[in-house]
Amino acid sequence: MQYRQLGESDVKVSAVTMGCWAIGGRWWGGTDDAKAVAAIHKAIDVGMTSFDSAPAYGFGHSESVIGQAIKGRRDKVQLLTKYGLSWETQKGEYFFTAPDDDGVDRQVYRYAGKESVIRECEQSLQRFGTDYIDVYQCHWRDVTTPLEETMEAMDTLIKAGKIRAAGVSNFTVEEMEACRKVVPLASDQPPYSMVKRDIEADILPYCRENNIGVVVYSPMQLGLLTGKLTMDREFPPNDMRADSAYFSPENRRRVIAFCDKLRPIAEAHNATVAQLVINWTIHRPGITAALVGARNPAQAEENAAAADFRLTEDQATQVEGLVKELKLEL
Four-residue CA torsion sign, 329, 257, 283, 293: positive
229 DSSP 8-state letter: -
Angle among Cα 198, 282, 4 to the nearest 5 degrees reads 120
Phi, psi of 135 (to 5 degrees): -135, 125
Four-residue CA torsion sign, 128, 132, 133, 138: positive
CA distance 319 to 30: 34
Nearest to 293 by CA among 80, 19, 92, 10: 19
321 contact partners, CB below 8 Å, separation of at least 6 = none
Q: How far apart are the first and last CA of the chain?
A: 35
Nearest to 86 by CA among 139, 128, 149: 139
Residue type, 103: G
Q: If phi over 0 gives left and psi between -120 and 50 gives alpha, with beta otherwise, what is residue 67?
A: alpha
Torsion from C-alpha of 269, 273, 278, 283, nearest 10 degrees = 50
CA distance 61 to 137: 18
105 contact partners, CB below 8 Å, separation of at least 6 = 97, 98, 99
Cα 308 vs. chain centroid, distance in angstroms? 20
Cα 290 vs. chain centroid, distance in angstroms? 7
Catalytic positions are 57
CA distance 236 to 168: 31
Give the largest CA-CA distance in the chain: 54
